[in-house]
Amino acid sequence: MKRTRYFGAVLAAMLALSAPAGAQTPAPAKDPAAIAALESMSAYLRTLKAFQVESLTTTDDVLDDGLLSQQAAKNTFLVEMPNKLFVTVSSDAKERSFLYDGKNFTLWASRSRYYATVPAPATVRELDDELNNKYGIEIPLADLFRFGSPTWNAADITAAVDLGPGTVLGVTCQHYAFRQDGADWQVWIQKGAFPLPRKLVITTTDDPARPQHSAVLSWNLAPSYNAEAFTFVPPADAKRIALAVVSQ
Amino acid sequence: MTRLAKSSIAIALALLVGPAVAVPAHAGDRARTSVNRNKNENRNTNVNRNKNVNVNSNRNVNRNVNVDRDVDIDVDVDRHGCCYHHHSGWGVAAAVTTAVVVGSIVNTLPPSCTVVMVNGFTYQQCGNTWYQPQFVGTSTTYVVVNAPR
């Protein structure tokens, strides 16, 4: 007993010595209740078999001189888990559609009438990985089908804070902030029986310019669509082009 | 023009010549849009993107007059002159008429091109110069190619 106390004292002294000198900003706490809320939202998302989301997003580009250029876009997002997806992205610069029917992925540029179709893996999550790693394409709002998936782990979060109530487009939410490697992010989770993310803000922290991405989401949990919605049928004036492989 | 755009051009150029060019997927220079992607771990490695030896050793790069030009490939060609950093359209189109090296990449075509389909894929024939449109990421670019037929 005495011995244990002795070692405890030594350990405490060592810790005190190894701490950086001077007053440091204490690391934010990892509030278990905030983590629980995130896990609850994630679990709820994974109960949804099909959903439709409209989102207004802003995404910062970092220019050569370090200035930020905020790009706004409107996205529509229809997913039928685990292997069907139809996403449209409309911004000042371009309009794109992503179609995935479980077999093929098509990128469609409605203004230029160009499209590219490539064979696709078996699930939306694998598709997102492949598009990212092989083609340099990001599916907007991919977090909606990644929270609560096997690749997601709340243990990666190093800080979690409950910021209190907040309203998003008239919906009462609870506002949380999280930190993980490379990103500080916030989520507004709808209160009540349907804990949906209503707003997401991601700040990239491993870039000194700290570019930010935000998305405000409107949900439809009973979307009406048919199976053809996910398969690209080229219009008569559509022109097929290649999709460049940027990594392997 | 963003660093991302410049990088994508380098990547595409590298692709033109060598098989199996291992270039990290782009990720940096723009806010990350997901907190769940495994791939975002690549962000840190992309800081070193300009050390990519595949690009520098690529013979085509050195004689490609377009390499150092600011070509903003992140904007559709049907949009003109909207933005401070999206300024490429006119200058590039003008320069292309004097530089039609195979392998060059531009984001706008010269005037008076004709769409030609070869083996199911689309080409643009502009005078004696042939361009193959392609998506790099979600952006459209045009690669100068040898006549496909």
In chain B, which residue ranges form alpha helices assigned H by DSSP?
Answer: 3-17, 43-46, 53-56, 59-62, 89-96
- The model's pLDDT over B84-109, given as tens digits with 9 standing for 90+, comes to 443 333 444 444 445 578 988 998 89
* Domain span at A49: 28-240
**In a domain? residue A15:** no
pLDDT at B96: 44
pLDDT at A6: 53
Please, which pLDDT band fits residue A234 given cuts at 50, 70 and 90? very high
Q: What is the CATH number of the domain that holds A77?
A: 2.50.20.10
pLDDT at B75: 55
Q: Which residue has the tokens 């083996």?
A: B119
* Pick from B25, B31, B40: CB nearest A246: B25
This complex has an ipTM of 0.81
**In a domain? residue A150:** yes
- The model's pLDDT over A16-33, given as tens digits with 9 standing for 90+, comes to 444 444 456 776 799 999
A182 has a chain B CB within 8 A of its CB? yes
**In a domain? residue A58:** yes
- Of A140-154, A217-231, B71-85, B109-123, which gets the smallest average pLDDT? B71-85
Q: Is the pLDDT of residue B8 over 80?
A: no
Structure tokens at B121: 């894929």
pLDDT at B62: 32
CB contact under 8 A, A63 and B38: no
**In a domain? residue A23:** no
- Residue A83: CB partners within 8 Å, gap ≥ 6? A100, A101, A102, A122, A123, A124
- Of B20-29, B75-84, B108-117, B135-144, which gets the smallest average pLDDT? B20-29
What mean pLDDT do residues A37-43 have? 97
A55-58: long-range contacts, CB 8 A cutoff, minimum separation 24: A55/A140, A55/A141, A55/A215, A55/A216, A55/A217, A55/A218, A56/A215, A56/A216, A57/A140, A57/A213, A57/A214, A57/A215, A57/A216, A57/B33, A58/A212, A58/A213, A58/A214
Residue B93 in contact with residue B110, Cβ under 8 Å? yes
Give the span between the Cα atoms of B4 and A162, in whole angstroms.
Answer: 35
What mean pLDDT do residues A149-162 have? 91
Give the span between the Cα atoms of B132 and B147, in whole angstroms.
Answer: 10
pLDDT at A248: 55
Q: Is the pLDDT of residue B124 over 90?
A: yes
**In a domain? residue A215:** yes
Give the span between the Cα atoms of A60 and B53, in whole angstroms.
Answer: 29
What is residue A132's DSSP assignment?
I
- Of A123-127, A202-206, B116-120, which gets the smallest average pLDDT? B116-120
A153 has a chain B CB within 8 A of its CB? no
Please, which pLDDT band fits residue A90 given cuts at 50, 70 and 90? very high
pLDDT at B149: 78
Residue A68 in contact with residue A78, Cβ under 8 Å? no
Q: Residue B122: its chain A contacts at CB < 8 A?
A: 114, 239-241
**In a domain? residue A245:** no
Please, which pLDDT band fits residue A151 given cuts at 50, 70 and 90? confident
Give the span between the Cα atoms of A70 and A59, in whole angstroms.
Answer: 6
Q: What are phi and psi of B104, to 5 degrees?
A: -60, 150
- Is residue A27 classed exposed, middle or buried when 0-12, 13-18 and 19+ CB atoms within 10 A define those classes? exposed
* Pick from A64, A178, A240: CB nearest B1: A64
Interface test mutation site (partner B, options A42, A56, A64, max chain B beta carbons within 10 A): A64
Strand pairing of A239-240 and A114-119? parallel
pLDDT at B100: 74
Q: Is the pLDDT of residue A191 over 90?
A: yes
Please, which pLDDT band fits residue B69 given cuts at 50, 70 and 90? very low
Looking at the 3D structure of chain A, how many domains does it have? 1
Rounded to the nearest angstrom, the minimum Cα separation between B77 and chain A is 8
Residue A185 in contact with residue A157, Cβ under 8 Å? no
Q: What is the pTM of this model?
A: 0.74
**In a domain? residue A89:** yes
**In a domain? residue A225:** yes
Q: Is the pLDDT of residue A186 over 50?
A: yes
